[in-house]
Amino acid sequence: MRFARRLVAILPAALPLLILLMMAVRPAAAQDYKVAETTDAPPAGLSPAVQAILGGDVLKVTGANGVLCEVWLRKSVPAAATPDTELGVTFGQLATGTLIGVIQFPAEAIDYRQQHIHPGVYTLRYALMPTDGNHMGMAPQRDFLLASPISVDTDTAALTFDQTASLSAKTTGTKHPSVWSLGPPDSSALPAIIHDQDADAWELEFALTIEGSGPTPVALVVVGHTQGT
């Protein structure tokens, strides 16, 4: 009883410290993020061809530790000659290997496969997750963006899947490309940054201007990772 009374007496004084400790160990996906769309020139180091197709607006995602990433989108994204209607494909109007934009990380980032990405600027190309059985449960849809170093990805033409994956593997330094999940958005007011509580992930939601389709809303996971293989 004496111990219980003593515990009750010290709890009010210790409560603020306990709250601070719990906040300090929160996972990154539980932090708050914001997005702002501003006008800014694309980052230095891009090839003239890539720089020429980018718009002048940047989507800047910030969190408790400052800027998480900045995304410049292509002014107009070419549409696939033949839309892909296979099961699990959300954005079949995009062709594999199409350059979507570029992303800049001021600090180390972690992709959807939990691979560590060095600070820098990377191209983003569209690709579909293979249906070879090695990627079961990786995401609800097969759509992804693959990040590649701008030093090796200098052309704007669409690439094959193998070419895109090979360039992106230079980002990770492994045999695996750097993958970023791309799915349908939840918000109608774009751009937005939304916390998916079920997946414990943050999605950057914005509209792509696709030739023949107009603005197409998409959601790119910028914080969070797959629960599959």
Q: Whole-prediction pTM value?
A: 0.84
Cα–Cα dist 159/125, whole Å: 9
* pLDDT, tens digit (0-9, with 9 covering 90-100), for 112-156: 999 999 999 999 999 999 865 554 555 579 999 999 999 999 999
CA distances from 104 to 61, 68, 83, 186 (A): 10, 9, 30, 24
* pLDDT, tens digit (0-9, with 9 covering 90-100), for 52-79: 999 999 999 999 999 999 999 999 999 9
- The values of phi and psi at residue 35, to 5°, are -130, 140
Side-chain half-sphere CA neighbours of 118 within 13 A: 10
- The amino acid at residue 92 is G
